[in-house]
Amino acid sequence: MSELPIAAELIAADNDRRASAHAADYEALGARLARAGVSIETLTQRVGAFGVAIPSWGVGTGGTRFARFPGRGEPRGIFEKLDDCAVIQQLGRATPTVSLHIPWDAADPTELRAKAAALGLGFDAMNSNTFQDQPGQPLSYRFGSLSHTDPAVRAQAVAHNLECVEIGRAIGSKALTVWIGDGSNFPGQSHFRRAFERYLAAMAEIYAGLPDDWSLYVEHKMFEPAFYSTVIQDWGTNYLAVTALGPKAKCLVDLGHHAPNTNIEMIVSRLIQFGRLGGFHFNDSKYGDDDLDTGSVDPFRLFLVFNELVDAETADPAFRPAHMIDQSHNVTDPIESLIRSADEIRRAYAKALLVDRAALDAAQDANDALLASETLKAAFRLDVDPILAEARRRAGGAIDPIAAYRASGYRDKVAAQRPAAQASGGGIV
Ligand SMILES: [Mn+2]
């Protein structure tokens, strides 16, 4: 499949059916915003310019520690994954890039580049994998990778990360995301300080191999696969690590990698203040690292995160954190979940753009807690659907992307072409 997977005529025909109602909704919202001195045109352009990367692993069905129930027509390799990513981008127009995972997506870089270019896609951050053993791998990561007690295991993990950088250079990526599963399951099993020292020394070798125009994103995670201690367990340790490594190293915040009820938006603010916020892995959760669809459980929290991002963007137009989705689709068609999640992220961004920042600043300075809260809530309560739909429509996407996707019959078509996958694999970081 070298051409775009969804026929442009299908999208146009579906949009035609919805054009009149959409235009009326957009005009009504525009009039309402104009009364508040806000230009819907400016908002639509800013929303349209906002992109979030799709994780290549996200287009396959995920799973839990207990089971994985494969979906129909799952992609069998990176080239079919890119086809599915192109569907998401064609309909939603919010996901122009794909984040690859090595070795799951290992392939000839020239072919990767050509395939992505034919589909109108680019590549975002590279992701290394030292949390599982690969076939034929000489040394095991059972007891860790970059922080392992054995220098030979650490060297193997460093070499793998440098290989990810080389592949990334060849396909136009500009960043490496490192998440390790290193940790311990018993008190006393691991010496906390020595393990962190070994990690920092290994990461320094990776950092030294990074091109000048690259970023190194360090991702923390409180628990799992280790359940007693984790080497890079929270944003504090993450901050210590990136500070020790150098200016190209930044913290990556995965929304699911914190204790329940943690004030993530405040962590975001702290990292922005000290210039170390690299980017995000967006998802949602209820109890732990559930990897639920972004915005599906707590859209207000997502909005509060974006409130901090827009606040930073307002102060510094050059502020550009990386945006990636990282979630597990166990009961939905992953294409539909990723279209909806990218939309939820744009929704949070649009609402954050609508916050009356002068009014919020004034309420904060006057210690008017209720008015400050209401200023945020006023933006959060607004229905920005017409703006999201208009941004998609203008870029050639669908006014109703899920309806257009279902009408396309894409899943049925690939289910016929792709044999059912085995119930293994997956993997979410
Ligand atoms: Mn993640």
pLDDT digits (tens, 9 = 90+) for 235-287: 999 999 999 999 999 999 999 999 999 999 999 999 999 999 999 999 999 99
Q: What pLDDT score was predicted for residue 1?
A: 44
Please classify residue 265 by burial: count the beta carbons closer than 10 Å to its beta carbon, then call 0-12 exposed, 13-18 middle and 19+ buried: middle
* Domain extent at residue 46: 8-425
**Looking at residue 338, which CATH number applies to its domain?**
3.20.20.150
Distance 429 CA to ligand 1 centre (A): 4
Instruction: Collect all residues with Cβ–Cβ distance below 8 Å to 221 and sequence separation of at least 6.
Output: 179, 230, 232, 233, 254, 257, 289, 429
Distance 353 CA to ligand 1 centre (A): 26
Bridge partner residues of 24 (DSSP)? none
| Residue 2, domain member (yes or no) | no
Distance 379 CA to ligand 1 centre (A): 28
| Residue 391, domain member (yes or no) | yes
Give the closest residue to 315 by CA, choosing from 269, 359, 276: 269
Distance 254 CA to ligand 1 centre (A): 5
Q: What pLDDT score was predicted for residue 422?
A: 60
Q: What pLDDT score was predicted for residue 429?
A: 43
Is residue 405 within 8 A of residue 363, CB to CB? The reply is no
Q: What pLDDT score was predicted for residue 65?
A: 87
| Residue 359, domain member (yes or no) | yes
Distance 234 CA to ligand 1 centre (A): 13
Per-residue model confidence as pLDDT tens digits over 136-177:
999 999 999 999 999 999 999 999 999 999 999 999 999 999
| Residue 23, domain member (yes or no) | yes
Distance 291 CA to ligand 1 centre (A): 9
Distance 113 CA to ligand 1 centre (A): 24
Give the closest residue to 311 by CA, choosing from 373, 262, 358: 358
| Residue 245, domain member (yes or no) | yes
Query: Which 3 state secondary structure label does DSSP give 323?
Result: strand
Distance 326 CA to ligand 1 centre (A): 5
| Residue 1, domain member (yes or no) | no
Which tokens in the block code for residue 375?
A: 């200023």
Distance 99 CA to ligand 1 centre (A): 11
Per-residue model confidence as pLDDT tens digits over 313-325:
999 999 999 999 9
Distance 423 CA to ligand 1 centre (A): 22
Is residue 158 within 8 A of residue 139, CB to CB? The reply is no
| Residue 118, domain member (yes or no) | yes
Domain count, the chain: 1
Residue numbers of the chain with a pLDDT score lower than 50:
1, 424, 426-429
